[in-house]
A = this chain, B = another copy of it.
Amino acid sequence: MRPSLLAAVAAAALLPVAAASAQDRSAANRLIDEGMNHSQVMQTAQHLTDVIGPRMTNSPAMRTAEGWTAEQFAKWGLKNVHKEGFAFGRGWSIERASVRMVSPRPLQLTAIPIAWTPGTNGAVTAPVIVAPMKRERDFDKWRGQLRGKIVMVTMPGTGDEQTSAPFRRLTGEDISKLDLYVQPEHDPDSADRRMKRLDFAQKLDAFLKAEGAIAYVTQSYRDGKLVHGEGYLFGRGETPAVPGIELAAEDYRRLARLTKTGPAPTIEVLSDVRYDDSDVNAYNIIAEIPGTDPKAGYVMAGAHLDSWVAGDGASDNAAGSAMIMEAARILAATGQRPKRTIRFALWSGEEQGILGSMAYVEQHLASRGRPDDAPQSGLKRYYGWTNRWPITPKPGYGDLAAYFNIDNGSGKLRGIYAENNPAAVPMLKEWLSPYASLGAGNVVQRTTGGTDHVFMQAVGVQGFQFIQDPLDYGSRTHHSSADTFDHLKGDDMRQASVVLAGVLLAAANADKALPRPPVPTQPATTKPFDFTDTDD
């Protein structure tokens, strides 16, 4: 090192934190100005929800969203905008659907077709029968009784009531409770149980078809006239034969009670759905702000762009997608030239099994192999992925310095889940520090699951999620017919976009990368002596 440079370094060393903070805070203020005073995030979210609508993987609307988001990235000056495909299955969308009680009295019911089930080919009218089935041995009870019937397959139960506030924000105490290292759980049978549920859906369909049932009906798992319509038989060649409908809980239970007090009600079902087999692949959308140091690797943020179909996929996850896009726009608009590349991803296939980010891991980070006889499409193609060993890192494995995921609704960012990576905490705290007064300064150890960071974690790449104010995500909007733009909060969305941009910029410019965990090897089960009834 040259003496003059050494002197400069020594002088700077007297105030290293202050100097770094001054630099961060100066960039932070530009991000805050762009994101708070010139925000586009609500316009982006509105286009994704109101105009494009729900974005079921491989549906025509999702194809539109793939194109539109890529165009927006390019328009805002992002580079290397492209899509990356992975095997998925059929497209499916609803053209028209209505369900109506015909007798004992006329009544419109609240209903939605179950995803990927076939339409009714015009309106069909038939009496209902309550025939709850959740395992194969339940079939025997109903054999011979279902011909010409519309079969109500859910046990109705008695409903529940909301005794806590549906819309809420996290208190400091709530957040402090999240700062806890959690024993990782290793249960090799859990994937089997998921696949058993998929197998059961196929067996139920075959049974209903063989018995001559006209359609089947499930009950919404939320009260208050909300419906959801999730279904998983999206692979080519595994489309069910029998149309399926989810009814609002109130409507389902009314039908069930009426079967107890009088002749079974007759209902009229119209489900007009469309399949799209033009392309078996689903696509992740990728865009970048290139780094100035080609050897420094990249940091990444992602959110899934696909959604379920009952609402407009607003809080789940147009919100996260719009935050990702807005963070990209803010960084581009403010002319940031980070050391590391910042890569943005809008995932597909998340709702059917976190498939888009799994495909990214397979394509870029690490291989876990796939059996030769894996199906060409559908969820079973991805069966058992996390149970296959060893993990074989790919050449790009070391380049991804940190991944940040957004998929917990539209609430403001309150900090980061360090996801059982205690060594990362000091750097995460430092990156968040300019945004503490925006409410986002917290780093907690708790792990989170169920979304696109988990398969990064599963191969040893640091994938984080943000702590977000829950708002009404869990209580009302998640997957439901109320998941519309109305329930997104602009102040929250703007704050989240700014904080996300800030964390990405800090991570991309950090002198050192985050400490990495080791590449995972086959763990010991944490349930060596557990007995579980996997029949239910």
Enumerate chain A interface residues (CB-CB to B < 8 A): 46-47, 50-53, 61, 94-98, 100, 104-108, 110, 158-159, 161-168, 223-226, 249-250, 253-254, 257-258, 261-262, 311-312, 471-472, 476, 481-482, 484-487
Contact = CB atoms under 8 A, between A and B. Distances in A.
A426 B111 CA distance: 53
B163 A261 contact: no
A98 B105 contact: no
A96 B249 CA distance: 20
Given A98-B98, A106-B95, A165-B165, A224 B262 contact: no
B166 A253 contact: no
A99 B105 CA distance: 20
Copy total for this chain: 2
Contacts of A472: 161-162
Contacts of A94: 106, 108
Contacts of A261: 46-47, 50-51
A489 to B, nearest CB: 8
- Shortest 5 CB-CB distances between A and B: which pairs? A161-B167, A250-B484, A159-B486, A162-B166, A250-B486
Nearest to A268: B96
25 contacts: A51-B261, A51-B262, A52-B105, A53-B105, A94-B106, A97-B108, A98-B98, A110-B110, A110-B481, A161-B166, A162-B165, A163-B167, A163-B168, A166-B166, A223-B487, A224-B482, A225-B226, A225-B481, A225-B482, A250-B311, A250-B484, A250-B487, A253-B484, A254-B485, A257-B485
Contacts of A165: 162-165
A50 B105 CA distance: 9
Contacts of A487: 159, 161, 223, 250
Nearest to A223: B486
A512 B482 CA distance: 56
Contact of A50 (B106, B224, B254): B254
Nearest to A250: B484
Contacts of A253: 484-486
A225 B251 CA distance: 14
A167 B159 contact: no
A488 to B, nearest CB: 10
Contacts of A158: 486
Given A106-B94, A225-B225, A486-B250, A50 B257 contact: yes
Nearest to A258: B50
Given A94-B108, A159-B486, A254-B484, 13 more contacts: A46-B257, A50-B257, A50-B261, A51-B261, A51-B262, A110-B225, A162-B166, A163-B167, A224-B476, A250-B484, A250-B486, A254-B485, A254-B486
A114 to B, nearest CB: 15
A250 B311 CA distance: 9
Nearest to A475: B162
A53 B265 CA distance: 13
Contacts of A159: 486-487
Nearest to A166: B162
A107 B53 contact: yes
B100 A106 contact: no
A159 B107 CA distance: 28
A47 B312 CA distance: 37
A254 B51 CA distance: 9
B486 A249 contact: yes
Contacts of A108: 94, 96-98
